[in-house]
Amino acid sequence: MKRAERTVSDSKLVPGLEIRSLFPFFTEGPAGCYLDSAATTQKPAVVLDTLRNVLVHHNANVHRGAYRLSAEASELYDQARTKIARMIGAKSERSIVFVRGATEAINLVAHSSEQLFRPGDTILLTLLEHHSNIVPWQLLAKRRGLSVAFTDITDDGQIDLNDFREKLKTLKPKMVAVTQLANSLGTVTPIAELVSLAKASGAQVLVDGAQGVTHLGVNVESLGCDYYVFSGHKVYGPTGIGVLYGRAERLEALEPFQGGGDMISYVSTEGSGWAEVPQRFEAGTPAFPEAIALGAAVDFLARFDRDDILAHEAALVSEAYEMLSEEEGVTLYGPGAHSGKQLAVVSFSIDSVHPHDFATIADTHNIQVRAGNHCAMPTLRRLGVQATVRLSFGLYSCSADLSAVRSAIREARKLFK
């Protein structure tokens, strides 16, 4: 790995304006006030370089060829798995399954664990979940005659812990699936408590870490969850690659998700046997350049102190709250900056301006914000709102982005008076 290694030194980095020089989006690309990192993050040069480097210098299919190039690609792919295992505190790289993203990871678990459920069993979710952590379970419920229940949230978008306890007791769910950080509101859930309560009640637990892994980090072993999922593209890596972490004994008990090359121990005309985990769940040619580039994103992220990332993203939430609460006609949703339970995301609406209209006006100033239901229709419905404007932050976000949003709000309010 020549070129990529040259572009990265080992020095520590601090989130903020200065690191924009490491992201070609800001130096060669549209350089927008990019406030949609919860949807996807911009990529540091080292990730783009790694992708190119693999495709130019190490491009051969993995785990197949007897020649050197294939062995090299396979080694890099395996190294990426090890980096990811280390980043999330997994005991073994055998617990790391490469998938396309968080969505595919949840679908994989919902499909492959099907035989563990009996008709009438319950799956417990929360009203904070992204559609990806709802619909796969609803599909499973339909196939197996199960029920899907939802833990309520409070008016400020936090999980109602009493309701959670009550539902664990009365419904005795087989599976609990819950987010670590809600993409719609930025709510930081009390994930350790939720996992430990759910485990004590006998449920298996899947944690949706699509946002959490980027903004909060995780140690899956001390968290004690059965599954943890995330997408590469939200953690400064490429699209098309994501991770399912599963405790070894859980993965061993799952049926394969898809069949094909690489996931078998043998194939005969009478039937087939399965490869060991994690290969059992990686049918077909994997997105190995993307996986290796995700490994580069993991290295990149490791150059920041987690406390600096937390402080940076919490400060931006505070600043946004302060600014937005001074603007006339703005309603904010979520726990709020002072709760200490909201990170990296701020959701709001503006009287008389539809969120989509606001996003369009903002776009004319090269400000990218998300408007709509953020793939969390049950959350927004519970809060009595159909759509919000969402600002979401990354390592490169800064105060100037927020000032630009303030000007756009004032312009929008004038236009829609």
Pairing mode, strands 264-267 and 204-208: unpaired
**Per the structure block, which two tokens stand in for 247?**
């405790």
The rounded distance, in Å, linking the Cα atoms of 72 and 60 is 8
The rounded distance, in Å, linking the Cα atoms of 79 and 96 is 12
Q: Is 225 a catalytic residue?
A: no
CB of 103 to ligand PMP, least distance (A): 3
Residue 303 burial (C-beta neighbours within 10 Å; 0-12, 13-18, 19+): middle
Of residues 38 and 296, the one with the C-beta less far from ligand PMP = 38
**Per the structure block, which two tokens stand in for 162?**
């009493």
CB of 325 to ligand PMP, least distance (A): 25
Pairing mode, strands 227-231 and 204-208: parallel
**Per the structure block, which two tokens stand in for 146?**
């199960």
CB of 337 to ligand PMP, least distance (A): 20
Question: What's the one-letter identity of residue 142?
Answer: K
Catalytic residue among 33, 225, 375, 398: 375
SS3 352: coil
The rounded distance, in Å, linking the Cα atoms of 73 and 79 is 10
Question: What's the one-letter identity of residue 383?
Answer: L
Of residues 208 and 282, the one with the C-beta less far from ligand PMP = 208
Of residues 42 and 231, the one with the C-beta less far from ligand PMP = 231
Residues within the interface to ligand PMP (CB under 6 A): 38-39, 101-103, 130, 132-133, 179, 183, 208, 210-211, 231, 375
CB of 373 to ligand PMP, least distance (A): 12
Enumerate the β-bridge partners of residue 179.
Answer: 208
Q: What are phi and psi of 115, to 5 degrees?
A: -70, -10
Of residues 103 and 122, the one with the C-beta less far from ligand PMP = 103
Of residues 58 and 100, the one with the C-beta less far from ligand PMP = 100
Q: What are phi and psi of 313, to 5 degrees?
A: -75, -30
CB of 126 to ligand PMP, least distance (A): 11
CB of 226 to ligand PMP, least distance (A): 17
**Per the structure block, which two tokens stand in for 388?**
């919000």
The rounded distance, in Å, linking the Cα atoms of 150 and 128 is 9
Of residues 101 and 157, the one with the C-beta less far from ligand PMP = 101
The rounded distance, in Å, linking the Cα atoms of 290 and 1 is 14
Q: Of all residues in the chain, what percent are helix, strand and coil, respectively (each to 5)?
A: 45, 20, 35
Q: Is the dihedral of CA 297, 298, 303, 306 positive or negative?
A: positive
The residues, any chain, with a CB within 8 Å of residue 159's CB and separated by 6 or more, are 126, 128, 151, 153, 178, 187, 189, 190, 194
CB of 312 to ligand PMP, least distance (A): 19
Active site residues: 375
